[in-house]
Amino acid sequence: MAEKKKSELFDWVKALLIAFGIAFIVRMFFFAPIVVDGPSMAPTLTDGDQMIVNKFIYNVSEPERFDIIVFHASAQQDFIKRVIGLPGEHVAVEDNVLYINGEEVEEPFMETKDGAKHSMTSDFYLEQLPGGYETIPEGHLLVLGDNRENSTDSRMLGLISMDQMVGKASLIYWPLDRIQIIRTQENEGAG
């Protein structure tokens, strides 16, 4: 009888260790939770939104324009922003219009229901940002918050290195009334 209890206890301990090991591997290499802190991505993301970050996606694909990413802004702090400029591109904003390589690019996530832009973007050119680049170098991205009037992003931080990337924000899971999968808006038009 004692042998059976000992064997049962060992099976439970083994199952728990395996479960914790799998959870650790998933958390370290595939997915991680993050809480949005502040208004810089409003109204797309709101302060307190709890999200899942896909840490693996950029091992098998490249970031796309308008992906929402998480990156290490410092050793102590991660930021969440939207990819605007990709390697090899020149980025400028004039009169609240985004230009990539001189071509106007729509930002559907910036529009309110009546078609007006919800946040003004001060004019800037890539050359004016920290680093003074003429085009975005390989392995770097230009990121901006959706709330352009209240966002610490590439305009202050400079370009973001792929080495700083944590992953792509892919799902809001809390609060319940905001549960949604985050999609790349460029590929979906205004929807």
Active site residues: 40, 81
Report the 3 state secondary structure along the chain.
CHHHHHHHHHHHHHHHHHHHHHHHHHHHHCEEEEECCCCCCCCCCCCCCEEEEECCHHHHCCCCCCCEEEEECCCCCEEEEEEEECCCCCEEEECCEEEECCEEECCHHHECCCCCECCCCCCEEHHHCCCCCCCCCCCEEEEECCCHHHCCCHHHHCCEEHHHEEEEEEEEEECHHHCEECCCHHHHCCC
Query: Which pairing describes strands 31-35 and 160-161: parallel, antiparallel, or unpaired?
Result: unpaired
Q: Give the whole-angstrom CA distance, residue 168 versus residue 30.
A: 11
